[in-house]
Structure formats: C-alpha cells, structure tokens
Amino acid sequence: MSSQIDNLLTENRRFAPSADFAAAAVAGPDLYERAQEDREGFWAAQSRELLHWQEPFTQVLDWSTPPFAKWFADGELNIAYNCLDRHVEAGNGDRVALLWEGEPGDERRVTYAELTEEVKRLANVLTELGIGEGDRVALYLPMIPEAIASMLAVARIGAIHSVVFGGFSADSLRSRIDDAGAKLVITADGGWRKGKVSPLKPAVDQALSDRGDGVQSTVEHVLVVRRGENDVAWTEGRDLWWHDVVPAASPEHEARAFPAENPLFILYTSGTTGKPKGILHTSGGYLTQAAYTHRNVFDLKPETDVYWCTADIGWITGHSYVAYGPLANGATQVLYEGTPEHPEPGRWWDIIEKYGVTIFYTAPTAIRGFMKQGRVIPQARDLSSLRVLGSVGEPINPEAWVWYRDVIGAGTTPIVDTWWQTETGAIMISALPGVTETKPGSAQVALPGISIDVVDEQGSHVGAGGGGLLVITEPWPSMLRGIWGDPERYKETYWDKFGSQGWYFAGDGARLDEDGDIWLLGRVDDVMNVSGHRLSTAEIESSLVAHEATAEAAVVGASDETTGQAVVAFVILKESYLKQHGPDGLAQQLRGWVGEQIGPIARPRDVYIVGELPKTRSGKIMRRLLRDVAEGREVGDTTTLADTAVMSVISAQVR
C-alpha cells in the first residue's frame, strides 16, 4: 500500500473555485468559523434553520452516557412533515419532488402536493394494519416513487423502517426481517433491471415461509405494489395489493410530533463478523445533518436545481441523499429505476440531458466503468446543465476524478468527494463547492461542525505526511445510536479501540498531507468494498462453508480496476466430496452459490480451489498473503506462518 500512498501524495493538480461560483455559493468560509467558535451552538442553529420543530428543543447534545448520544432530546418533530407538508404549506405544492423514470422508459412526475397526499393515505393504511410507534416495517422495493412514499409514511407514524436492497436474496431478507422483528413487509411484484422484470415478491414469500423449525415469522401483512406485472403467488389474509388499499384510504392525516430521539430506521450493513449489523438512526439529529450536508455540500438551490443521486434506497446513500436530505430541503430530483447500461451505455447521460440535471452524485466504480467505455458516449450528449458533481462509496483515484471533471463536468464543475458511512448517517468529510480548492483523490477536510483526526495505533495525532487511522473525536448529530438489539457489539466495534479518549473508530486507514488534507486509504478491517458496497469477508466465508463441498474458505478483497475491490475466495474441498464428485465445475458452482445465498453483489470474481490455507501458529488465516496472490504480487513476509512452505504451494495452485 505504501507505493500507492506515495503516488497519491505526489498528486499536485489543484482546482480553485471560480469567482462566479463562489459568489453565488450556498456555503461560505464563515461556516468553518462559526462552527469553530461554538460547535453545539452551530448545530442548534442549523437545526432550527433547516427543520420545523413542533416542540422546540432547549438541549443540544447530551453526552452524559457515552457512547450513547442524544441530540436535541427535549424537542419534538415529525420527519415526514418536514420532508413534505411544510413545503406544500409554504406554497410549493406544485414543485416536482420526483422526476421518476422507469427502466423501460415510462415516466412519472410527482409533485410535493401529490407525494404528501400519497404518504398521508399510506400512513392511514399502516395504522389500519396495526402498525404504530416503534413497530418495524421492512421495505423490499425497486426504485419507484412508492419506495420513497413508504419510507416517509413509516416515519410519519413514528414506526421504524428497515430497507433491504432488492438485490439481496430471500435468505438475507429473512435474517433482516427476523432480526428486526418486522410486522409488515412492503414489496412489489417485481421491478425492471437490465431489460427484464426481476421478481421481488417470490423472495418475500420464501423469506416468510415456514423453515421447518416451527418458529413463526413476526410478519403479519405484506403490502405489494404492482410494478413488474409478473405473476405472483398470493397468501389470502396476509397479502394486500397497494392499489386496492392506498387509493381507498383517507387523504387526511395529521403529522403527530415525536421526540427527537425517536428511532427512524435500521439499516443493515456488513461488519467484520458474519452477521450483518442493524445500524440504528434516530430522527432530529439525523435529519438535521442530512439536510445541512445536502444543502451545503451540493450547493443546493431548491428553486432551480435538478438533483440526481444514483444510489439505491437499499443503501445509506439512498436514505440520506435520495429520501431524507433532498426532500427536507424541498429539492426536485430524478429517481431512476434501472441499470446504467440499459438499453445502451449512454442511458445515464440521456437522463441528465433530458431532465437538465444540475447536481449529480454517484460512485467511483460507476465512473471507472464509464471511463472504460470511453468519452465518446457521454460526449454525444448535452451535459452542460451540470454544475456540481459528487462522489461517494470508496476512494476515487485521481485519474477517475480528473476524467469525471473533464468529461462529465466540462472541465469546470467542482467535484465533491464525500467520505462517510452507514454509521455516520451523513457526509462527514468533503470539500465545499465554491469554498474549497479541490484536490483530485483527496476527500480533503471535515465539514464545519465535524471533528476528525488521523491517529496512530496509540492514539497520537499523526503529523503532515503521516498515515494512520481515521477517528471522529466529537459526537455528531446524525451518528448511529447503536446496533439494533446489541449494545455490546456497538461499544466493542466503534468505541473500544480508542475508549479512553472517547473517539469513534471508523475502520478506515487515512493519511494527512502537507496541507492537512485527508486521503482515505480503504478499510483496515476485514470489510471489503466492492463497487462501493460493503461486504464482509466472514459473511462470504460462512456462505462458502455452508456448501456441501467446502471444508474451509478464506475470502479477500483484491484490487480491481472497475469495482475497486473484487471478492476472491480460496477454498479447501472436503475429501469425501472430492472422492465422489471431483472438482470439475465446482469453482463456478460456488460462485453461483454465494450469489444465491447473499446476493449477486457478493458473488466472488474468482474461486481458487487450494489444498491448504496460510495460518499463523494461533490458527489465524493470514489474508494479507492471500491478497498478494489474488493481486498477482510477490508474496510478502511469511515468517509468522505455522508452515512457511504453504504459500508457494498455493501460488502454484492458483497459476
């Protein structure tokens, strides 16, 4: 990694904001000063300015029982009212909230007034189905307006949503439904992906089916949106069509105020162990920071901008920058159902041209994919409406950054490389357009109000040019409030490492350059980042060993030109299986197996069948060495291995 770091740190291209952009920018340098002077007062002011509080708060941060923070705890608000009703009441009901486009090319424009009404009807339906404050509702939906409406309706009645990405398997869905104890699932028959309908309802049926252990699912009802028009099985009494019940429900619904710390959602993400963590977010602090960052980092002018974030609502980026941030700010945004390459590789650029998108937020993996296809495709479209470009999900290499700015941004748009996590809830490190001189490859500086440091293993601040671990040194409004049902895991994972200092450990390596700018270097734990999606090595390993042929498995994330990292698995087969079946075609089978068990994003790029795995004397698999093999490098230091010859055997088997 050190050569990579040195490369990055010699990057010396700089892009100063243009005078015109700076003059009209939402954010100014004064934000840093104000936050510096009085951090809590700054957040209180942001919250009062950006949100409507039905019961104004008098307390800002309560950090009396770390690591459990409370923000604005004595205030009360309604999240959906903040995202919808108040814009209508302010006379902006006719403003388009969603410029929706389905993959086959169908379109819907949904105004704030229409979305508000739909959410009110749905809130009434949910109440009739017995969903109340604190109940969990799982959402398993394509990118359609009903998905956004569902999140908001659940929030409106003080219940908790758990969105499960539509690409996850029935098993993954089941474990998330069970962990949260969901009472209701909202899904669709199917959604469009890559030119055909990809069914969703069958996975829900499977997730809720009796698994033979006699344990009854907590789910009482399944609400189904018709989208794909594919045939679906129906369980009478349990399943309901959206179009039967939502339009028939009353459009009157009063948004009750809930305490600021009322849970808003659970979102599962991969950790270092096999079991995904249910990251818990609450209301007032989360919405404050989602709205604040969305406005300042993207320079949002809600009256004129057309904003588009390409993330799926199954990820945190879709929560904070498709659902909550943009709607709280009254933005007009594009929502697109399908894949970027359908029916041909220029689809995204067509959408930008068609709707006149001004602010565009996507992931480095997509940008690298487009780079590969060449600049001719985007250059055949008129992208001149774009004025701010954002990146999220993984480090963006300087070449991709510069390509993004030159080819998509006409060599003029500011680029904001935004670092944050499911756990942080909202953007933490980013340039501010119109304020910051940008630097390709560096996420740069903590946002005003956020306190970040890079420290060594002992917790000492590293100086200019130093590398270490990224920590967050002060609580922030949209921080996670815990892991659903597992407070101990919450403490251990994030707060034990720098417990005496009370710092949050992010799990990312980072380096500071001469100017104090931050360069993110990827995860320091066993979490992989594939196309900006977090996957745990342990989760994929346990899926592999669940296959009848597998005795043992080790998974690493190997660097990959397009996806950032790719999943590479090393597998030892069972003797008994080998004797009966032989190894032919097994690597392929195992790839498919993981895809079915967890979801296609987890499918390994390569599966190598090997005779042994490199282990330390205490039996720990040395993934570092396997990564060397997977990346085609010379194998590093093997002296701590129990059997130092094992790596040459593995290297020979892989070649």
| Site residues, ligand 6R9 (CB under 6 A) | 269, 315-317, 392-395, 417-422, 443, 506-508, 520, 522-523, 529, 532, 534
Q: Is 545 annotated as a binding residue?
A: yes
Tell me how far, at minimum, the Cβ of 418 lies from ligand 6R9, in Å.
5
Name the minimum Å distance from CB 27 to ligand 6R9.
Answer: 18
> How buried is residue 241: exposed, middle or buried, by Cβ count under 10 Å (0-12/13-18/19+)?
middle
Question: Is position 111 annotated in a ligand binding site?
Answer: no
- HSE value, Cβ hemisphere, 13 Å, CA-based, for 286: 31
Cβ of residue 317: shortest distance to ligand 6R9, in angstroms?
5
Length reported for the chain:
655
DSSP symbols for 550-607: EEEEEEEEEEETTTEEEEEEEEEEPHHHHHHH-STTHHHHHHHHHHHHT-GGG--SEE
Q: Between 347 and 523, whose beta carbon lies closer to ligand 6R9?
A: 523
Q: Which is nearer to ligand 6R9, 158 or 314 (CB)?
A: 314
The answer to the question of whether 202 is labelled as a binding residue is no
> Residue 403 annotated as binding?
no
State which residue, 115 or 556, has the beta carbon closest to ligand 6R9.
556
Question: How many other C-beta atoms can be found within 10 angstroms of the C-beta atom of residue 502?
Answer: 13
Beta bridge mates, 266: 162, 280
Write the DSSP string, 465-476.
Answer: T-EEEEEE-S--
Q: Tell me whether residue 394 is annotated as binding.
A: yes
Q: How many CB atoms within 10 Å of residue 364?
A: 24
Would you say 301 is a known binding-site residue?
no
Supply the minimum distance, in Å, between the C-beta of residue 123 and ligand 6R9. Answer: 29
Q: How far is the CB of 265 from ligand 6R9 (least distance, A)?
A: 14
Q: 151 or 590, CB closer to ligand 6R9? A: 151
Residue 393 annotated as binding site = yes
Spell 129-168 as b/e; 16+ CB within 10 A means b.
bebeeebbbbbbbbbbbbbbbbbbbbbbbbbbbbbbbbbb
Q: Is 419 annotated as a binding residue?
A: yes
Nearer to ligand 6R9 by C-beta: 258 or 361? 361
Is residue 523 a known part of a binding site?
yes
Minimum Å gap between C-beta 337 and ligand 6R9 is 21
Report residue 309 as tokens. Answer: 């974030």
Is 628 within any annotated ligand binding site?
A: no
In this structure, how many other beta carbons lie within 10 angstroms of the beta carbon of residue 96?
18
Q: Which amino acid is at 316?
A: I
Q: How far is the CB of 567 from ligand 6R9 (least distance, A)?
A: 16
Find all residues with CB under 8 Å of 317, minimum gap 6, and list them.
309, 311, 361, 392, 393
Rounded least distance, CB 178 to ligand 6R9, Å = 22
Q: Closest by alpha carbon to 293, among 316, 259, 270, 273?
A: 316
- Taking the C-alpha atoms of residue 512 and residue 464, their distance in angstroms, rounded to an integer, is 5
State the nearest-atom distance from the C-beta of 277 to ligand 6R9, in Å: 10
Q: How many CA atoms lie within 13 Å of 339's alpha carbon, on the beta-carbon side?
A: 16
Whether residue 420 is annotated as binding a ligand: the answer is yes
Residue 187 or 478 having the CB closest to ligand 6R9: 478
Distance CA 297, CA 289 (A): 11
Question: In terms of CB distance, is 78 or 421 closer to ligand 6R9?
Answer: 421
Q: How far is the CB of 328 from ligand 6R9 (least distance, A)?
A: 18
CB-wise, 184 or 454, nearer to ligand 6R9? 454
508 is in an annotated binding site: yes
Across the chain, which distance is largest between two alpha carbons, in Å? 74
**C-alpha dist (Å) from residue 225 to 139, 188, 550:** 11, 4, 40
Does 580 count as an annotated binding residue?
no
Return the closest-CA partner of residue 443 out of 521, 505, 371.
521
**563: nearest Cα among 533, 596, 595, 519:** 533
Please identify, using beta-carbon distances, which residue of 204 and 530 lies nearer to ligand 6R9: 530
Instruction: Determine if residue 531 is labeled as part of a ligand binding site.
Output: yes
Task: Report in angstroms how near the CB of residue 396 gets to ligand 6R9 at its nearest.
Answer: 7
Q: Does residue 142 have a known ligand-binding role?
A: no
- For the bound state, the minimum distance from the C-beta of residue 568 to ligand 6R9, rounded and expressed in Å, comes to 18
421 labelled ligand-binding: yes
Of 339, 326, 323, nearest in space to 163 by CA: 323
Distance CA 75, CA 61 (A): 12
Q: Cβ closer to ligand 6R9: 323 or 443?
A: 443
DSSP calls for 245-307: HTTTS-S------EETTSEEEEEEE--SSSSPEEEEEESHHHHHHHHHHHHHHTT--TTT-EE
Of the two residues 325 and 346, which places its CB atom closer to ligand 6R9 in the complex?
325
CB nearer ligand 6R9, residue 353 or residue 508: 508
Residue 65 Cα distances to 224, 278, 360, 475, angstroms: 42, 21, 39, 12
CB distance 110 to 145 below 8 Å: yes
Burial label, 72 (beta-carbon count in 10 A; 0-12, 13-18, 19+) = buried
Q: Other C-beta atoms within 10 Å of 568: how many?
A: 23
Report the nearest approach of ligand 6R9 to the CB of residue 588 (Å). 28
Least distance from ligand 6R9 to the Cβ atom of residue 10, Å: 19
Q: Between 124 and 172, whose beta carbon lies closer to ligand 6R9?
A: 172
User: Residue 141 corresponds to which amino acid?
Assistant: L
Residue 417 annotated as binding site: yes
- CA 97 to CA 86: how far, in whole Å? 13
H-type alpha helices, 187-239: 201-208
> Binding residue per annotation — 547?
yes
Q: d(Cα 71, Cα 76) in Å, to the nearest integer?
A: 11
Nearer to ligand 6R9, 283 or 424 (CB): 424
Q: From the annotation, which residues make up the binding site for CoA? A: 193-196, 317, 531
Q: From the annotation, which residues make up the binding site for Mg(2+)? A: 545, 547
Q: From the annotation, which residues make up the binding site? A: 193-196, 317, 393-395, 417-422, 508, 523, 531, 534, 545, 547
Q: From the annotation, which residues make up the binding site for ATP? A: 393-395, 417-422, 508, 523, 534
